[in-house]
Structure formats: structure tokens, C-alpha cells
């Protein structure tokens, strides 16, 4: 193939007319690794939906983190959220450790926003580390659910957490068509080895 052909349009590649004709004449099994379609230039619709879900979630985490930081740092007398519980006059510092707990909640919220935004933007740009991060957190959810089931079986009380989102993400991001989108451009995956 000619070096000017770039990985964009037809079959995730763009070819000169002569190169495209040459590409179509060669049966797929006999094509050299260098001209096999390898990576998409843009994510598929499913990956985009998941990516936008992470980005929206990051915005929500940011809002919660900023709210908690505001309460922890700026609230002098009363905790605003206790008004909904029917007791609007609870003083924040009267509850032992409350300011620290809310402060840590703010830190976790802000870190969650950064991680979610990084994963969302990584998925939009087909960064393989973002796919691995999604799989890591999905497997973590499944493992924690299984541990929760063990606790429920031993204690004979509690609720069964079914990790539907984690299982969906594992199945979705383990599909071959999705994996191909996260290979670096110009690299063809053959078995367990990569060929440039």
C-alpha cells in the first residue's frame, strides 16, 4: 500500500483510487497485515453513548463535590441539607467529625469528576487506557457485588446487589468490534502479537 493512504474512510481507511482497487482485489485472508483494516478513526455510536454517559456523570460528580466543599469550607452555623430532614437548626460543628466527613466527600466527588471526565474523553478519542479503566471499574463492581452476596449469605440479611452496569460494560467492551477501535492506528493485531 502507498504510504499516503491514511486510516479514515472506507473500511476505516482512506485510499487512493488505485490503492482501493488493489485493496478490493486481494481476498481478505490473503491481505498483508499492513493493509488489513485495524482501527477506526472515530468511536462507534455505542462507545460514544458510553463516553457521553461518563462525561455527564463527571459533571454531576463535580457539582456534588463543589457543593460538599462549599458546605465544609464556608458553612459556619447550620447544615443546609438538614432542613429537608425536619431539623433546620443543626449546627455543623456540633456533629463530631462532620466537617471532616463532608470535606472528604468533597475530595472524593472532585476526584470522581476528574476520573469520569478522563475516561469519557479517552473513550471519545479511542484511547486504549480509557477502555482498560472502564473494564477495571466494571470488574471491581462485579467483585464487590459478589463479596456483598457472600456477606448476605453469611449474615442472612441484607440485599442482593446485581451489578447490571458492570456486566453490561464488561460484555460491551470485550467485543472484538469494540476492541479493534482501541488499537493504535497503523497496528494490525494478529493473534497475541502486534505488527506494524
Residue 45: pLDDT band (50, 70, 90) is confident
Angle at the Cα of 120 from the Cα atoms of 122 and 136, rounded to 5 degrees:
80
**Eight-class DSSP state of 36:** S
Q: Say which DSSP state 190 is in.
A: E
Give per-residue pLDDT as tens, 85-133: 555 555 666 667 777 888 888 999 999 999 999 999 999 888 889 999 9
Q: Where are the domains of the chain?
A: 1-37, 38-195
Beta bridge partners of 14: 6
Q: Give me the pLDDT at residue 3, please.
A: 56
- Using an 8 Å Cβ cutoff, are 124 and 58 in contact? no
What is the pTM (predicted TM-score) of this model? 0.62
Amino acid at each position: 500500500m502507498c504510504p499516503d493512504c491514511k486510516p479514515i474512510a472506507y473500511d476505516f481507511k482512506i485510499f487512493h483510487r488505485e490503492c482501493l482497487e488493489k485493496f478490493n482485489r486481494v481476498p481478505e485472508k490473503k491481505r498483508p497485515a499492513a493493509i488489513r483494516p485495524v482501527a477506526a478513526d472515530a468511536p462507534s455510536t455505542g462507545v460514544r453513548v458510553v463516553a457521553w454517559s461518563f462525561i455527564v456523570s463527571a459533571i454531576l460528580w463535580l457539582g456534588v463535590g463543589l457543593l460538599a466543599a462549599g458546605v465544609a469550607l464556608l458553612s459556619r452555623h447550620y447544615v443546609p441539607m438538614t432542613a429537608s430532614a425536619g431539623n433546620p437548626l443543626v449546627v455543623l460543628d456540633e456533629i463530631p467529625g462532620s466537617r471532616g466527613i463532608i470535606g472528604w466527600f468533597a475530595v472524593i466527588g472532585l476526584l470522581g469528576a476528574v476520573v469520569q471526565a478522563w475516561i469519557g474523553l479517552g473513550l471519545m478519542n479511542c484511547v486504549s487506557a480509557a477502555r482498560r479503566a472502564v473494564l477495571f471499574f466494571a470488574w471491581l463492581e462485579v467483585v464487590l457485588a459478589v463479596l456483598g452476596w457472600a456477606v448476605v449469605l453469611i449474615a442472612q440479611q441484607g440485599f442482593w446487589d446485581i451489578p447490571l452496569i458492570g456486566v453490561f460494560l464488561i460484555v460491551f467492551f470485550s467485543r472484538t468490534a469494540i476492541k479493534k477501535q482501541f488499537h493504535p492506528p497503523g497496528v494490525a493485531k494478529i493473534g497475541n502479537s502486534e505488527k506494524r
